[in-house]
Amino acid sequence: MSNYLMLCDEFKIVGLLTREKSSYLKSKYEKLTDENKKLMDKHAHLILERSLNSVPRSNLASIKGNIQFLAWVMIFNLIGLIILIINS
């Protein structure tokens, strides 16, 4: 068994990785070429640490969308407030 896969199992046992995340990382590893697998084994700890600390891009996109929505709401409210003040 490769160093990467063993470390992935250890992270799952101690609760750092969920079963789904572990399965996903293992399947990505299995799809790699032999040369890339050697590199993954060499730097397994660093790669797994970074995957633990990474925020999924879908969460970032969702946050960005929420901020944009709130910005537009604020702009429309300010425009409405200005029109209300001018007409008073």
Mark whether 38 and 50 lie in a shared domain: yes
Q: What is the pLDDT of residue 38?
A: 92
- Give this prediction's pTM: 0.58
Query: Comparing C-alpha atoms, which of 13, 12, 15 is closest to residue 23?
Result: 12
Distance between CA atoms of residues 57 and 84, nearest Å: 41
Residues 9 and 47 in one domain: yes
Closest of 55, 52, 61 to residue 21, by C-alpha: 52
Domain encompassing residue 31: 1-54
Do 82 and 68 belong to one domain?
yes
pLDDT at 61 over 80: no
pLDDT tens for each residue of 72-82:
999 999 999 99
pLDDT 10s digits, 13-57: 998 888 888 898 899 999 999 999 999 999 999 888 888 876 566
Residues 50, 62 share a domain: no
Q: What is the 8-class DSSP label of residue 15?
A: T
CB atoms under 10 Å from CB of 11, counted, come to 21
